[in-house]
Structure 1
Amino acid sequence: MTRLVRSFCGVFLIGVLARTGVAEDGAEKRPRPNMVGAYGPWLSEKVLGDGPAKLSFRTGKWKTLDEWRKAARERAWERIAPVDQGGKPEVRVESTHEFDGLQIERLSWQLPGGPRTEAVFLKPVGAKGPLPAILGLHDHGGNKFLGWRKIVRIGDEPTEIVVAHQKEYYGGVAWANEIAKRGYAVLVHDTFPFGSRRVRVADVSPRVREDGIDPEPNDAQGVKRYNKFASAHEDVMEKSLVSAGTTWPGVYVVEDQRALDVLCARPEVDPKRVGCAGLSGGGMRTVFLGGLDDRIRCAIAVGFMTTWRDFLLDKCYTHTWMAYVPLLPRDLDFPEILALRAPAPTMVLNCNEDGLYTLPEMHRADAILRETFERGGAADAYRCNFYTGGHKFDLEMQNDAFAWFDRHLKNRP
């Protein structure tokens, strides 16, 4: 695993425009920017098919959600092929201070593979608990140099890069701080391969370093060079992971679970009132962690919900390799990974003009989730909102998300 983590990473954004396919009736099909050209529609029809996947609750094969969840989760874990990152890690408190009404602890822990994980724990000053808690999952955003800093502020002078990132995606605020101020304990950690868990340029072969460097945090141009290096090699990272007998979710889902261990063990945290949320790559992580770990009592996936069909036909070129699990689409559609948590409270927040997905498939994913919850007798536990604008988790969306957490975690009897 150590060699695996020392490989290389990035965002795979190689959009290959497919040639135009022709339907049997002679009508032209629209060009599709997928990786398999005119084969995409054929694969969608003949391999994915139009009906529910084999392990979908919507097939009617299972009488209860509990029966379905057991079978479907077993297969999902098999496909994900998780790595062994040990049990609950030993946590070291690096520093403590107060900022903007919050008590902030800088933490770190060592997992069996890779560099030391950095994290931040936040709670209202003086709060002793038991508090509802949130595991904040940072985004991808094409920026692997940053991890927890994308959604947290620990002082008055964040770097230029952090300010710009939060302005673009989060309405200019650190959403982890904002939810902590409402009376929550919040933990945000770096996950593979971001921030402290990123791959260092110095650790890889000179043949693949290109123009990458390992910059200082306030070196904006240097960070751009690092992220360009990282983005150029995410496909090779995927090859490395598959060669090691695992997948990308097989690494980061386990790391997120170890962070969840840390959060649930905190003396001021009520382990029965824990939620998770994240935008984009954080939404992707919410889908997997929320769908596979029962400790997440309330989950909110923001800006990452569509179908495998959408990835196949239109949007694979806009996404990280971190989303894919070989063979799993035959068993579960993408939204059904999150639906594995039914009947636990679940929210999805989408934006109508989000260029990472097609709007029809976002609505199709919503329908799949809704049908699963309804069939399981838990219609009220699921909500999906659509907003105007592009890829974001802005203040309006944050208010709706926080209200959902309040309803199911903070105000729970």
Structure 2
Amino acid sequence: MPRIDADNMPDFLRAYGERTPYALGWTPEADFATWQVAGLEAVREAVNGDLMAVPQVRLVSERALGEARVQHLEMTFPTGAVTDAVFAVPQGKGPFPAIVLLHDHGGAFEIGWEKLIPTEDAEKRAIGDAWVERYYDGRYLGEVLLAQGYAVIAWDALGWGSRKGNGLESQQALASNLMQYGLSLAGLMAQEDVQAANWLSRQAQIDPQAIGSWGFSMGGYRAWQLSALSPVIGAGVSSCWMAAMKPLMAPGNNQLGGQSAFNMLHPALGGRLDYPDFAGLAAPKPMLFEAGRTDHLFSEPSIREAFDKLEAVWQASGAPEALRTRIWDRGHILLRDQQEMALEFFQDVLGAPIP
């Protein structure tokens, strides 16, 4: 019998994981405030970055997108990392409510923010159009939000678009190289997301009391992570990225393949904080979690286990009504009706956009 199986799982590891409790996880006996403080402290330590910092931003160009104005930015983070970003504001005086849009993974590294806001680059626009047709019901979320009166911001995470690397099979080397210097792929993404949101909250056109986060797939992970870590974010929508971790460690699951998993893996939190526990650190903020019953990445039992934990955490926070969950009868996709639910949610919790 092989000591390491085809999924690269050592023969002892599943049993080890099953008997290892999440030391930082929520339990009914815990005091919510004490638990939240301890959890956030552990996550901030794992992220290993200044979450109060604000990136330096340079305006590169500006253009119209329908009646909205789009600024193309160069954003430099405290680590020295540089990314392309876009900041779009609807027509009107403001200040506007705003949504931080977090792009997905999908193995499509040629574009990042262009999955969310249409670009003028013809080649990337063609890729983006095909992408939103495949996963977003043919709609760019940024355009949808701008039409509703929200400002939006999006940028390229490390490995996408302006920061494109060497493809799917290079992600483990990228993660390893970051770890050599005390960073992690997930931690770097988390700190950059928080820092970019800090910049957004300081813009004169934005109502700092009405900022939300939204993403699909890996972007959904980033959305609840950002909501948990950032006091700037008042509410969040996570579309198709929530499950309990242990059921994901099943033969053939994407989680066991490494590579892409490093984007959602904080080494210092492994075995200490489950995904719904981490997301629960956002409580009592309003949050909407959407999932697909036939999602090939997340089994329905793993989703329901996570949703049950989230409900317990929000109940303990004193705001059970602030949490909304929905399992749609579909797969890993963000269709129009899911988008409309998110828009209604933001209108409810952030207030109606200014006409």
What TM-score results when the alignment is normalised by the length of structure 1? 0.78
Distance 1:105 1:303 in 2: 29
Distance 2:126 2:221 in 1: 26
The answer to whether the aligner puts 1:275 opposite 2:212 as a matched pair is: yes
**Aligned equivalent of 1:295, options 221, 226, 232:** 232
Residue matched to 1:285: 222
The answer to whether the aligner puts 1:193 opposite 2:159 as a matched pair is: yes
Percent identity over the alignment? 26
Q: Which has the larger radius of gyration?
A: 1
CA contact (8 A) 1:146 1:195 kept: yes
| Unaligned residue ranges in structure 1 (runs of 5+) | 1-17, 20-32, 200-228
- SS of 2:43's partner is helix
Distance 2:47 2:154 in 1: 24
Distance 2:100 2:183 in 1: 24
Structure 2 CA distance for partners of 1:129 and 1:233, relative to 1, 3 Å = same
The answer to whether the aligner puts 1:394 opposite 2:335 as a matched pair is: yes
Query: What code does the residue aligned with 2:256 have?
Result: Y
Query: What code does the residue aligned with 1:262 have?
Result: W
**Aligned equivalent of 2:96, options 131, 145, 150:** 131
Count of aligned residue pairs for this structure pair: 347
Show structure 1 runs of 4+ deviating over 6 A: none
Structure 2 CA distance for partners of 1:164 and 1:124, relative to 1, 3 Å = same
What TM-score results when the alignment is normalised by the length of structure 2? 0.90
| Unaligned residue ranges in structure 2 (runs of 5+) | none
Residue matched to 1:258: 195
Structure 2 CA distance for partners of 1:382 and 1:335, relative to 1, 3 Å = same
- SS of 1:245's partner is coil
Equivalent runs, 1:305-384 vs 2, <5 Å: 305-314=242-251, 315=253, 316-317=255-256, 319-384=260-325
Structure 1 residue 119: deviation in Å? 1.1
CA contact (8 A) 1:40 1:312 kept: no
Residue matched to 2:17: 44
1:149-208: CA deviation from partner (whole Å, max 9, x where unpaired)? 011114595632111111111001101110121011111111222212333xxxxxxxxx
Q: Which has the higher contact order (CA 8 A, sep 6+)?
A: 1
The answer to whether the aligner puts 1:233 opposite 2:170 as a matched pair is: yes
Structure 2 CA distance for partners of 1:193 and 1:85, relative to 1, 3 Å = farther
Structure 1 residue 37: deviation in Å? 5.3
1:331-382: CA deviation from partner (whole Å, max 9, x where unpaired)? 3211111110101101111011110111101110011101111122211000
- SS of 1:232's partner is helix
Structure 1 residue 39: deviation in Å? 3.3
Distance 1:256 1:104 in 2: 20
Distance 1:371 1:288 in 2: 18
CA contact (8 A) 2:113 2:161 kept: yes
Structure 1 residue 41: deviation in Å? 3.5
1:39-61: CA deviation from partner (whole Å, max 9, x where unpaired)? 3531232224xxxx222232422
CA contact (8 A) 1:122 1:177 kept: no
Distance 2:61 2:173 in 1: 37
Distance 2:98 2:285 in 1: 16
Distance 1:385 1:34 in 2: 31
Distance 1:195 1:86 in 2: 26
